[in-house]
A and B are shown apart, each in its own frame.
Chain A
């Protein structure tokens, strides 16, 4: 990168926090997205305040430098891979946390991870009840930018449902605040849908393409201390799917619900069965693993009873092995790391949602692709809110085997197309999902228009939505 530009950046953040060193650039050329090509940026800058972020974007805009915002570097679908000679803006120095106990909310800087926030909120007997499985690395801002989900989502939905407001620096350096905090006299974040159109929503899942999220305000809830862990067995996919829908319809407060096919469960047992202390069992064709959680014990007792009843009505049976859901729940902050480590190599992942009633369609397509390409893989998922189920199939490859890696990329693309046809939706826009999809053209055009208006020089994470 041109030294003049680097000097300008250094004047903003101080020499210590900008780097063009070869070794530093190498380490920012990639992220946890192991299945993606590394790309070397031209500089990395670490702002210490929102104002510094704004000043940096003004410089980037002036020189039309592509900018990649980055915080934990734990995203898995290439979201934080920079552009050649571009600028990486790493946000980990934005570490403010303000708890608004009376407003039932908290505001965190873009450098705050879920793990850190969870520890702090624990002191207030509160939590933000959604844990991306990379919670120890992943920041709330980063998770909002990709619209993530995780354990807890079964009851509370995706992270988007928690958001009350965002502070965003636009590509021209303008700082905007959405939600109630848009009113400087407001006591803090207490309502997202303030001041007309939901601008907050525009930035959720925007992958840093419209601006840089510098702080996030989210809802807090009283921490749940009453849990019940149970597994329920079913013979058909339809029964298991129906069970998930009925749990929701009956307001049973399940924090984390997953359906496992027998063969997937065997795979899981190999990985973590012993560690979680799960007893040996002849698992049925379908197992539903459920973590129930309530603030009050009487509510929990009622949920346990009702869940059992519903299971029986659907001709299922209560398996009685709680160690599986308990292990999943207790390990919720790092399952992402562990599930693959216990197994294969590097991976490509394909997050998507289905309605629970369509759970079997994803499974069918995932198995078909693995068979077709002769790949090792794995899929897991969980009910992710009101009426959805989140899937995250992994396709594994040996990083030292280029041929296998290319095969995985091809399989990944084909899987996306096949899943799209089943009615599945991703929570992010990616070229492999929407390329050549005629019916999505108008939708994409609107996004293009918005992007052009907000970011006329196309500096913000260009290309992240594909060739738009």
Chain B
């Protein structure tokens, strides 16, 4: 287990000069139009954005603030979207530091965090208390992918259990492109939410289990359709747990290559279909994948790609991440609704995305404000377009 160096963490937290830029900076030259979605969608006390969260973290760690669930609330009212990190000029990563603070303070009771972890550890998913249902979509495919192959489709809990159409679309896409792929029999959860909410030790145990399952499948390449799985497997496992992973590739990256090389050709989606793209935080700010999804969308004949006011590194978050959707579902949905409004302003018919977790929340947000905009995964958009 990679130990958290507390001195190092305290030194990082002390880097915050309380400038407050991470609250709601509008910085046109750099594309920022507001920073913290939690500040924006709550009463907006200092505790809601990173400056205040860090003050609370320091006070808790120094023992100036009592370690109670109430006093840690602000630490969890955050989607870890990283927009604050993006604009912060200090030499530390505030979002990453907050994630570590959650881990250091993980002995303070938090029912939501612990319930999620217990479910993942016992049932391989954060959603339900039994193992049923995660792989049901496979039965509806009309073909049975093997459990061992060079390429593994690691579908993830949200696609498997909440948006099976996306999981099916991804599998069909692979088949249509003539790629032989496996799907695990009992796919463990990537454990992203455990890392984000501070159950690091359990997350590490879980990560080893995930790697073992992948190794058993014999996969050299792991394809994912979820931005959270992507960031967790590609970045967190090696960096936090020192695990040596096979190649982890997002569908968008993978299919863009196939389109570019001419291996697959796409039919028109329609005529002048206006689409805007929502950057998942885990894919954009975390991994710098901004252009691939846009290039893939632009490669679809008949698509006009329009940008939201905030995009790429300055994109506002959908509100689902960092455990927020479980911790404060109402707030999480409000943030999503805000993002949907931003998409509506572009005149787009579709908000395309590359993450079922974002998609699920954006759909909730659209429902909250009765928006008729269609929220769709890029995979869903292209599955029927392969010539």
B26 neighbours in A (Cβ, 8 Å): 113, 115-116, 118-119, 136
Contact of B73 among A23, A90, A116 (CB under 8 A): A23
Other A-B pairs, 10, CB within 8 Å; known A27-B56, A137-B20: A28-B46, A30-B18, A32-B17, A32-B20, A74-B19, A116-B26, A118-B26, A134-B19, A136-B26, A334-B21
Which residues of B sit under 8 angstroms from A44, Cβ to Cβ? 45-46
B55 on the interface (CB 8 Å rule)? yes
A22-B47 in contact (CB<8A) = no
Interface residues of A (CB under 8 A from B): 16-17, 19, 21-24, 26-28, 30-32, 34, 44, 46, 72-74, 90, 92-93, 113, 115-116, 118-119, 122, 134, 136-137, 330, 333-334, 336-338, 340-342, 345-347, 399-400
- Cα distance A270–B331 in the bound complex, in angstroms: 43
**Chain B residue nearest in CB terms to A16:** B43
> Contact: A346 with B17, CB < 8 Å?
yes
* 6 A/B residue pairs, CB under 8 Å, sorted by A: A21-B47, A27-B51, A32-B19, A92-B24, A116-B26, A341-B15
Kindly state the separation between the CA atoms of A347 and B27 in the bound complex, as whole angstroms. Answer: 25
Q: How far is the CB of B92 from chain A (nearest CB, A)?
A: 9
From residue A268, how far is it (CB to closest CB) to chain B in Å?
15
Residues from chain A with a CB closer than 8 A to the CB of B369 are none
**Selected contact of A23 from candidates B15, B19, B24, B70, CB within 8 Å:** B70
> Which of chain B's residues has its CB closest to A92's CB?
B44
Question: CA A72 – CA B46 in complex, angstroms?
Answer: 10
Which residue of A24, A34, A90, A136 contacts B17 across the interface (Cβ within 8 Å)?
A34
Q: How large is the interface on B (under 10, 10 to 19, 20 to 34, 35 or more residues)?
A: 35 or more
> Contact at A22–B65, with CB atoms within 8 Å?
yes
- CA–CA, A124 and B79, complex, Å: 35
Interface residues of B in 63-121 (CB under 8 A from A): 64-66, 70-71, 73-74, 87, 89-91
Q: How far is the CA of A21 from the CA of B46 in the complex (A)?
A: 12
> B45 near A46 (CB under 8 angstroms)?
yes
The answer to whether B141 has its CB under 8 Å from any CB of chain A is no
CB < 8 Å: which of B27, B56, B71 contacts A334?
A: B27
A30 in contact with B55 given A22-B71, A113-B24 (CB within 8 Å): yes
**Which residues on the A side are within 8 Å of B44 (C-beta)?**
46, 92-93
Docked Cα-Cα span, A162 to B168, in Å, equals: 61
Determine how close the nearest CB of chain A comes to the CB of B368; give it in whole angstroms: 18
How many Å from the CB of B50 to the closest CB on chain A? 11
Contacts of A27 in B (CB 8 A): 45-47, 51-52, 55-56
Question: How long is the Cα–Cα vector from A16 to B27 in the complex, in angstroms?
Answer: 29
At the interface, yes or no: B176 with Cβ under 8 Å from chain A?
A: no
Residue B28 at the chain A interface, CB threshold 8 Å: yes
B14 CB-CB contact with A under 8 Å: yes
Task: Give Cα distance in the complex from A46 to B19, angstroms.
Answer: 20
Contact A136 B21 (CB under 8 A): yes
| CB-based nearest B residue for A346 | B17
Q: Which of B10, B25, B73 has a CB less than 8 Å from the CB of A115?
A: B25
Check: B23 CB closer than 8 A to any chain A CB. yes
Report the bound CA distance from A190 to B70 in whole Å.
Answer: 50
CB-based contact B89/A338 at 8 Å: yes
B90 neighbours in A (Cβ, 8 Å): 337, 341
Chain A, residue nearest B45 (CB): A24
Partner of B56, one of A26, A46, A336, A347: A26
Given contacts A23-B70, A23-B73, A113-B26, contact A72 B43 (CB under 8 A): no
* Docked pose: A48 CA to B183 CA in angstroms: 54
